[in-house]
């Protein structure tokens, strides 16, 4: 389908908007790159102490994924929607504007799922919340939720979405490699701890 490369580029352009960096710079907080994990995501924005900014980062980083999927799906159907989702994820992880140093993909993963098959986004959020309430680790919560999501999609017969989800989950695990090391050595910061 001729539109698929266009869907990928639309997705990439949406995904590569670094809302965490934009919002914290507008608000004049500490430089995200120099605090906490150095990541540009909502978890690290929270380490500036600005809860509202963190919530806005989570929401906007998620909705850019939803927008990419919904727009591409509206123009050219479900395959284009999935390709746009992959593009948005890669755009967030590897934004050309930031020398390809982007985020870890949790919020945008949720937004992509919301656009493709909303029950999967709900499941991701519920697993994230359940793990976060019990362990207070943002990274571990994302790893557990991302691990379950492809299984959930496969279980409900959404095989194409499950395949896409496997790719997103593998990338998400790769982006969390430093978090995984810190979790193993007991050095990972918990939610609510300041930078």
Q: Which two tokens stand for residue 158?
A: 């959404």
| Least CB distance to ligand G3P at residue 111 (A) | 13
For residues 136 and 141, what is the distance between their CA atoms, to the nearest angstrom? 8
Buried b (16+ CB within 10 A) or exposed e, 14-25: bbbbbbbbebbe
Q: Rule CB under 6 A: is residue 24 a binding residue for ligand G3P?
A: no
Residue 131 touching ligand G3P (CB under 6 A): no
* Using rule CB under 6 A, residue 142 touches ligand G3P: yes
Range 175-187 burial, b when 16+ CB lie within 10 A, else e: bbeebeebbeeee
Sort 133 into a burial class: Cβ within 10 Å, 0-12 / 13-18 / 19+.
exposed
Range 82-119 burial, b when 16+ CB lie within 10 A, else e: bbbbbbbbbbbbbbeeeeeebbbbbbbbbbbbbbbbee
Residue span binding ligand G3P (CB under 6 A) among the ranges 72-80, 86-94, 119-127, 137-145: 137-145
The residue from 16, 24, 37, 165 that contacts ligand G3P (CB under 6 A) is: 37
Binding status of residue 138 toward ligand G3P by CB under 6 A:
yes
Stretch that binds ligand G3P, among 17-25, 37-45, 48-56, 70-78 (CB under 6 A): 37-45
- Report the nearest approach of ligand G3P to the CB of residue 135 (Å): 12
**Does the protein bind ligand G3P through residue 36 (CB under 6 A)?**
yes
Longest CA–CA span in the chain (Å) reads: 49
Cβ(66)–Cβ(112) below 8 Å: yes
16, 39, 48, 66: residue in contact with ligand G3P (rule CB under 6 A)? 39
Q: Which structure tokens are listed for 3?
A: 């539109």
User: Residue 150 CB, nearest distance to ligand G3P (Å)?
Assistant: 17
- Between 154 and 173, CB nearer to ligand G3P: 173
Least separation in angstroms between CB 193 and ligand G3P = 10
Residue 179 in contact with ligand G3P, rule: CB under 6 A: yes
What residues from 44 to 63 belong to the interface with ligand G3P (CB under 6 A)?
44
Residues of this chain that bind ligand G3P (CB under 6 A): 36-37, 39, 41, 43-44, 104, 106, 138-139, 142, 179
């Amino acid at each position: 389908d001729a539109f698929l490369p266009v869907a990928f580029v639309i997705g990439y352009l949406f995904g590569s908007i670094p809302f965490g960096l934009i919002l914290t710079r507008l608000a004049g907080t500490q430089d995200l790159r120099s605090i906490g994990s150095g990541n540009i995501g909502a978890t690290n924005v929270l380490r500036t102490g600005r809860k509202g900014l963190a919530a806005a980062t989570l929401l906007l980083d998620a909705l850019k994924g939803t927008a990419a999927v919904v727009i591409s799906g509206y123009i050219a159907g479900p395959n284009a929607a999935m390709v746009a989702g992959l593009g948005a994820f890669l755009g967030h992880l590897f934004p050309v504007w930031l020398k390809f140093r982007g985020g870890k993909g949790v919020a945008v993963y949720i937004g992509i799922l919301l656009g493709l098959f909303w029950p999967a986004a709900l499941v991701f959020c519920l697993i994230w919340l359940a793990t976060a309430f019990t362990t207070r680790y943002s990274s571990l919560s994302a790893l557990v939720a991302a691990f379950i999501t492809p299984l959930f999609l496969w279980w409900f017969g959404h095989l194409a979405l499950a395949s896409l989800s496997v790719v997103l989950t593998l990338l998400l695990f790769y982006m969390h490699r430093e978090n995984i090391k810190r979790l193993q050595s007991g050095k990972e910061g918990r939610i609510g701890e300041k930078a």
